[in-house]
Amino acid sequence: MKRRLLAGLFLTTLLSSATFAGDYTLLMYGANVFEGGEFTINSYLSNSGDEVLAYSFGVCFDETVIELVDLELLTPTPDFVEFEQYSGGWTVNVIVGAGPGLGLMPLPISEVHFLVTASYLAIGDEQTTTAVEFCVGPAPQMVPIALDTVSGPATPALFGGEVEIFDPLGFLFTIEDRDVYYSTNDPERFFETQFTLSEPDPGYDGPVQGFSAGGVHDPDFLELMFGAPMGPISYLGGSLLPPSLEFFQFDITSDGWSVGVIMGGFQFVEFDATLEPVIRMKYRVKPALLTGQTEVTTLAFSEDQGSPFPVPLAATFAGGMSSSAISIDGVVTLLPFDGDLFNRGDCNVDGALDVADGVTILSELFAGGSTPTCRAACDTNGDGIYDIADPVSLFNYMLLGAAPPPLPFGNCGGDDLGWSCDLFDACPAG
């Protein structure tokens, strides 16, 4: 009762007294949000006048566009706090401290203070803009916009916020389908697949600030070896991180994975309707599978992966908006392969990768040279097409430092694309 009486006296004094000269500003920043999304708007006090002992204000908004969900006081250990919620607004009345030397600290000078965080839900239609403003609370309380300082009452300057509601993005997460040939003679078989993003129906023309996802696989068939950035974020993952990367983490469990990416600094990434690979993942086919039968398994998205907390399938955009993603799982068809294993790029099957391999391809394509015994090894860029691009990609790798040929490369493996491999005797024994 004493605290409520003190609060009432404080408000009466503010309403009836002259304003003390000082520099005080109450402000809120706006927010961008997708239709149906939850967001927060904080209220702040910029104080370059005197220490503040108490404050009160109301906040008004259009209840047909946004809906109040929760209020939380950010001022530490107040002597008194009272929230009131009503249709189209809310009020707060706070006594921070009773003055210097009386046990409770007022809000100091020359600082910006967080006062209240308000959570809202965007219930209005897309492409709507609405204001969130400071206001005097309604009758009967009539809570004023006012401050009480160690030097007397003060009236702050006011800066409200603006909320803009956008159409939710149809953001799409996919894992590519793969046909994987495994050898019936060798238990070691690896393959890679890609996690891709696209924005097929952009309702918000802005860059992506980050994304998170998780997935699962059947551990009886597959073991995940690693995941790494690629495409538009591949340059973010080097040993010397540029200012554009704030965070990248890929975690592996026995049956799945999770990834979190935050981009910042001077470089965000904008996506469009094109599927854009962002993560490449390498899997090992487990030896227990080798029954000589075709098996079909799924690389599925999941929101149960991640530690210490599961990560959502979501993208975050500049301005703080987040959008849940539509996901399409990948299907892996594991096919028995009884041809010879091979090392991609070793087209002349001499056990070495050198210029002679590119010359062998050029000779067959343009000079009537003999057909190599393992056409799969000559498809150096792994696109399933045997053409001039194969020797070019091989020379670019050997002479210009371009990307290496896709697997199987470096170690012998089976054919991902169904090319014939009648004879390849350059693989090491065992």
Q: Are 63 and 161 in the same domain?
A: yes
Angle between helices 355-367 and 389-400 (to 10 degrees): 160
CATH number of the domain encompassing residue 246? 2.60.40.680
Residues 6+ apart with CB under 8 A from 12: none
- Show which of 143, 166, 189 is a domain's final residue: 166
Give me the amino acid identity at 176: E
Q: What is the pLDDT of residue 238?
A: 45
**314 and 233 within one domain:** yes
Express as a percent the part of the chain with pLDDT over 70. 80
Question: What pLDDT is attached to residue 184?
Answer: 65
Distance, CA of 207 to CA of 309 (rounded, Å): 26
- Using alpha carbons, list the distances in angstroms from residue 119 to 31, 127, 136: 11, 20, 20
Nearest to 374 by CA among 352, 401, 346, 351: 346
* Ramachandran quadrant class, 74 (left: phi over 0; alpha: psi -120 to 50; beta: rest): alpha
User: What are the backbone dihedrals phi and psi of residue 82, each rounded to the nearest 5 degrees, phi first?
Assistant: -145, 120
On whether both 150 and 14 belong to a single domain, the answer is yes
Regarding whether 242 and 111 lie in a shared domain, the answer is no
How many domains would you assign to the chain? 3
Model pLDDT, residue 6 = 30
> By the 8 A CB rule, do 137 and 83 touch?
no
Tell me: do 315 and 221 sit in the same domain.
yes
Residue pLDDT, tens place only, 410-424: 877 765 555 657 677
* pLDDT at 104 (0 to 100): 62
Euclidean distance between CA atoms 284 and 191, whole angstroms: 7
Domain end point (choices 116, 151, 166): 166
Please answer whether residues 300 and 218 qualify as being in contact, where contact means their C-beta atoms are separated by less than 8 angstroms. Answer: no
Strands 89-95 and 161-166: unpaired
Question: Which pLDDT value is given to residue 185?
Answer: 62
Query: Do 257 and 315 fall within a single domain?
Result: yes
CATH number for the domain harbouring residue 367 = 1.10.1330.10
Low-confidence ranges of the chain (pLDDT < 50): 1-21, 101, 237-244, 429-430
Question: What is the rounded distance in angstroms from the CA atom of residue 32 to the CA atom of residue 83?
Answer: 26
Say if residue 184 is in the same domain as residue 123.
no
Q: Where does a domain end: 115, 141, 166?
A: 166
Q: Same domain for 150 and 227?
A: no
368-409: per-residue pLDDT in tens? 888 888 888 888 988 777 888 999 999 999 898 888 998 888
Cα separation of 404 and 385, whole Å?
Answer: 17
353: left (phi over 0), alpha (psi -120 to 50) or beta: beta
Same domain, 191 and 328: yes
Range of the domain at 14: 2-166
Written as six digits, the tokens of 198 are 């696209």
Query: Looking at the structure, do residues 254 and 308 belong to the same domain, yes or no?
Result: yes
Q: Are residues 344 and 333 in the same domain?
A: no
pLDDT at residue number 425: 78
Q: What length is written for the chain?
A: 430
Q: pTM of whole model > 0.75?
A: no
Residue 346 and residue 268 in one domain: no
- The pLDDT assigned to 96 comes to 86
- Indicate the average pLDDT of the chain: 80
According to the 3-state scheme, what is the secondary structure of the chain? CHHHHHHHHHHHHHHHCCCCCCCEEEEECCEEEECCCEEEEEEEEEECCCCEEEEEEEEEECCCCEEEEEEEECCCCCCEEEEEEECCEEEEEEECCCCCCCCCCCECCCEEEEEEEEEEEECCCCCEEEEEEEECCCCCCCCCCEEEECCEEECCEEECEEEEEECCCCCEEEECCEEEEEECCCCCEEEEEEEEEECCCCCCCCCEEEEEEEEECCCCCEEEEEEEECHHHHHHHCCCCCCCEEEEEEEEECCEEEEEEEECCCCCECCCCCCEEEEEEEEEECHHHCCCCCEEEEEEECCCCCCCCCCCCEEEECCCCEEECEEECEEEEEEEECCCCECCCCCCCCCCCCHHHHHHHHHHHHHCCCCCCCHHHHCCCCCCCCCCHHHHHHHHHHHHCCCCCCCCCCCCECCCCCCCCCCCCCCCCC
